[in-house]
Chains A and B, each alone.
Chain A
Amino acid sequence: MVKLIARTPLDGLTPVTIGTVTVTEVTLDPMTMIAPFKNQLAKVDALLKAGDGVGFPAPNRMESSDGVRILWAGQGRALLIGADAPAGLRGLAALTDQADASACAQISGAGAVDALARLVPVDLRLSHFPVGQTARTFVNHMAASVTRTAPDAFEVMVMRSMGQTLIHELTEAMTNIAARNA
């Protein structure tokens, strides 16, 4: 039988360091989209808290506990990362395996926020966009999920097919910022 070698979405494209800013790949496995059915949000929230230690997140928020994260992903949807969805959720929410669907890059270091601010039409200053804040927005023309994981680090998630474009956009912005600071 043919042996296939699994490749991560950003395989061969990262890491990239330009100036003080670095881009690395973040692998998201397992990752499940959870969309509670009508009137089931409270039950879904309680089961998630009991099973994985994180509740269903409020809009624009990420919750994390012990390596498990849950990310708001649009109206009525959240992405559970790093743990399987509790079995009891079946019948209360639509569950979709998304582990291979996205490409995710971490951009970090002094000036990461300046590079990202060139691409994302959201106020990313720490006072307005604190750690744990997430936004469904654009990276240039591409729909993306942008989350602050530390004062100088963000995770940017796009559709897997857009991974190469994401790295291209980020490196271009990083190059511009580095040239400006030189």
Chain B
Amino acid sequence: MRITCPLCGTRDRREFTWQGDALAIHRPARDAGPEAWDNYIHLRENPAGKTRDLWYHDPCGTWAVAERDTVTHAVHSTTLVTEVPR
């Protein structure tokens, strides 16, 4: 599997660390209520197909959101976390 670091270019998967669902960067407001916070902290989808997750490019320190497919292992796109609308 190869992943494109938005800064370094396409690299081998061994250079990256998986950092969980991209949901993590969409933190609810402080007063969003227990249900929103419960969802944010504990509930994750487990899709067979398209998914969005966070990857850390270890040698350069860049965080990216990757849109990829858990069935085909295709990586459709990567975006700098700092450029994802929040």
- What are the interface flags for B58-85 relative to A under an 8 Å C-beta threshold, 1 for contact and 0 otherwise? 1111100000000000000000100000
* Contact of A118 with B by CB under 8 A: no
Determine if B59 and A144 form an interchain contact, defined as CB atoms under 8 angstroms apart: yes
Interface of chain B residues 1 through 53 with chain A (CB within 8 A):
7-9, 11-12, 14-15
Q: How large is the interface on B (under 10, 10 to 19, 20 to 34, 35 or more residues)?
A: 10 to 19
**B80 surroundings in chain A (CB, below 8 A):** 75
**Interface locus among A78-86, A104-112, A134-142, A160-168:** A134-142
Give bound CA distance, A175 to B12, whole Å.
25
Contact call A143/B8, Cβ cutoff below 8 A: no
Nearest A-chain residue to B61, judged by Cβ: A74
Say whether, besides A59-B8, A60-B8, A60-B9, A136 and B59 are in contact (CB < 8 Å).
yes
* Residue count of chain A within 8 Å CB distance of chain B: 14
- Would you call A75 and B15 a contact (CB within 8 A)? no
The residue among B58, B61, B80 with the most chain A CB atoms within 10 A of its own CB is: B61
Residues from chain B with Cβ under 8 Å of A121 in the complex: 11-12, 14-15
Q: List B contacts of A136 (CB < 8 A).
A: 8, 57, 59-61
Whole-angstrom distance from the CB of B29 to the nearest CB of chain A? 22
How close is A145's CB to chain B, nearest CB, in angstroms? 8
Of A77, A143, A145, chain B has the most CB atoms within 10 Å of the CB of: A143
Query: Are B11 and A122 within 8 A (Cβ)?
Result: yes
The residue of chain B having its C-beta at the shortest distance from the C-beta of A144 within the complex is B59
**Shortest CB–CB separation between residue A149 and chain B, in angstroms?**
19
Cβ-defined contact, A143 with B12, below 8 A: no
Assess the B62–A75 pair: CB atoms within 8 A.
yes
Contact: B14 with A74, CB < 8 Å?
Answer: no
**Min CB gap B61→A, angstroms:** 4
Contact B11 A75 (CB under 8 A): no
Cα A75 to Cα B62 in complex, Å, equals 6
* A and B contact pairs by CB, cutoff 8 A, 7 listed: A59-B7, A75-B80, A121-B11, A136-B8, A136-B57, A137-B11, A143-B58
Interface residues of B (CB under 8 A from A): 7-9, 11-12, 14-15, 57-62, 80
A-side residues, CB < 8 A to B, are 59-60, 74-75, 77, 121-122, 135-138, 143-145
